[in-house]
Amino acid sequence: MDSAAYSILMLNLVLGLGCGWPLAKAIARVSPTPTRVFRYFALLVVVYLVECVAFSASMATNVLSVGLAFVWGFLIGWWFRRWGAGERALLRTVLLFSLYSSLPAASFLSIPVLMVLGGHSVLSVEAGFQFGIPAFVPWPVNTILGFCVAVSLVAVTLKVVVTTYLARAFIVSRAARPCDTASPAA
């Protein structure tokens, strides 16, 4: 591996562990078993590793990464809806989780920074072509900077929206009560 790959690996290690612990504590605060912080942290690290693999496997299309947003939204919503915490606290925790699961996609923005530090052009179409960006991609996305920003922005936005919306649907539905169909006495 080259130094850029090691840098991205280290960045993701720092993001996964560094942001995972505070999120595990936030989950424990809304959990019926608040003493399981380490267990939540371990689960979050596994989620982060899965997200890293999914983003790497489908980087340009984000298919696997965004597909996981549906999985996480369903699982987190189903899991949290059984908890007795307030709806607002649960939704805030869901939003934090969705941002956490988006960090591997956001870390892709480090590539242009590393390229500039290495003396490469990130605004050149030719450099983008040499980087592996297909010729049919329109400007400015056919530059390294444009490509990395577009891929990251689309992935983060879709992941946060999908995960949060699906989980919210589960959490809000727990409070819904069936309508009373009995007719009022005349």
pLDDT tens, position by position, 158-168: 999 999 999 99
Looking up tokens 């992935």 gives: 155
Reply yes or no on whether the pLDDT at 127 is more than 80: yes
Question: How far apart, in whole angstroms, are the C-alpha atoms of residue 89 and residue 94?
Answer: 9
Question: How far apart, in whole angstroms, are the C-alpha atoms of residue 147 and residue 167?
Answer: 30
Mean pLDDT confidence for 145-154: 94
Q: Which of 77, 17, 59 is nearest to 155 (CA)?
A: 59
Question: How far apart, in whole angstroms, are the C-alpha atoms of residue 92 and residue 86?
Answer: 10
Which pLDDT band holds residue 177 (cuts at 50, 70, 90)?
very low
Question: How far apart, in whole angstroms, are the C-alpha atoms of residue 92 and residue 87?
Answer: 9
Q: Which of 118, 73, 110, 64 is nearest to 95 (CA)?
A: 73
Tell me the H-state helices in 118-143.
125-131
Residue type for position 76? I
Reply yes or no on whether the pLDDT at 58 is more than 90: no
In this prediction, what percent of the chain has a pLDDT beyond 70?
Answer: 91
What does each C-alpha distance from 169 to 79, 80, 88, 125 come to in angstroms?
12, 11, 13, 43
Mean pLDDT confidence for 120-145: 91
Give the predicted TM-score (pTM) of the model. Answer: 0.87
- Least-confidence region, from 26-40, 91-105, 164-178: 164-178
